[in-house]
Amino acid sequence: MNGRQPQYLKLKRHILRHITNGDWPPLSKVPSENELASRFGISRMTVNRAMRELTDAGMLTRTQGAGTFVAERKAESAMFEVRSIRNEIVSRGQAHTVEILTRELVSARPVTARQFALPAGTKLYHSRLLHRADGEPLQLEDRFVNPVCAPDYLEIDFYKEIPHQYLMRTAPLQRIEHVIEAEAASKRLARLLDVEPGSPLLTLTRRTWSRDQIASYVRLSYPAGKFRFVGDFNVGDFKTP
């Protein structure tokens, strides 16, 4: 594990890659500090720092006398409440601010067009916003919007009304699809979210339908150590076979 990047960061990325790739599934035991130190030719202190930071971020759990394990993933649920990041931040007693990074009309690339079930090259609105809590980056919002569902999207003052609020008002929700993943921060994401490259992120990908059309496709990225998703549902909401 040579190179300019600190050894503990390289080890963190190695462990996180095994977790996100599914090589080390939830509740599986992670190699011991001694094993990792020997395998990569680094000190136990370096291994301990990497393991400790991943534990603090919720990616690992450590049990005295038993070892270190991959943290159990929260169950995927369609019952997630769609809440505004502004309301989330304010409800915690913090100040919300937003920085507009991108606001444009684009021709959809094939991978994006597929999310809308539309042909490649279809015109879509695109915005990227960085949301901060008390000045610290908390969420990077990378969103594509169907102009048919929200024709005035690019004209909205996102400092006063963030995309979530505008879309809830303009394109009433009909259906929602959520996918939650863990990923290692790329250099670009690390710079925007003020974390080290390779740090664990929580990423929520969401598609929303309105009036029988896909209205929005958004990718929300959070520093894993600063945010968590909590589902709240009633047993009666589920149908038994």
- Which comes out higher in pLDDT, residue 199 or 236? 199
**pLDDT given at position 30:** 92
Q: Is the pLDDT of residue 228 over 70?
A: no
* 228 vs 33, more confident: 33
User: 120 pLDDT exceeds 80?
Assistant: yes
Half-sphere exposure of residue 91: CA atoms within 13 angstroms, side-chain side: 6
- Give 38's pLDDT tier (boundaries 50, 70, 90): very high
Q: Which residues of 66-80 are buried (b: 16+ CB within 10 A; e: fewer)?
A: eebbbbeeeeeeeeb
Per-residue pLDDT at 237 exceeds 60: no
Asked if 57 and 68 count as a contact pair (C-beta separation under 8 A), the reply is no
The pLDDT of residue 137 is above 70: yes
Write the Ramachandran bin of 35: left for phi over 0, alpha for psi from -120 to 50, otherwise beta. alpha
- Please determine, for residue 119, whether its predicted confidence score (pLDDT) is greater than 90: yes
Q: pLDDT-based confidence at 12, cuts 50/70/90? A: confident
Query: CB atoms < 10 A from the CB of 216, how many?
Result: 26
- Comparing CA positions, the residue from 163, 141, 159 lying closest to residue 150 is 163
| Alpha helices (H) in 80-231, listed in sequence order | 85-91, 110-115, 163-170, 187-193
Average pLDDT over the chain, rounded to an integer: 84
Residue bearing tokens 């690339």 = 109
Interval 107-117: pLDDT, tens: 999 999 999 99
Answer yes or no: are the C-beta atoms of 57 and 20 closer than 8 Å: no
- End-to-end, the C-alpha distance of the chain in Å comes to 52
CA separation for the pair 173, 156 (Å, rounded): 19
Ordered by where they begin, the domains of the chain are 7-70 (1.10.10.10), 85-237 (3.40.1410.10)
Burial 92-112 (b: 16+ CB within 10 A, else e): eeeebebeeeebeeeebeeeb
Alpha-carbon gap, residue 165 to 142, rounded angstroms? 15
Is it the case that residue 81 has pLDDT exceeding 80? no
What's residue 220's pLDDT?
Answer: 94
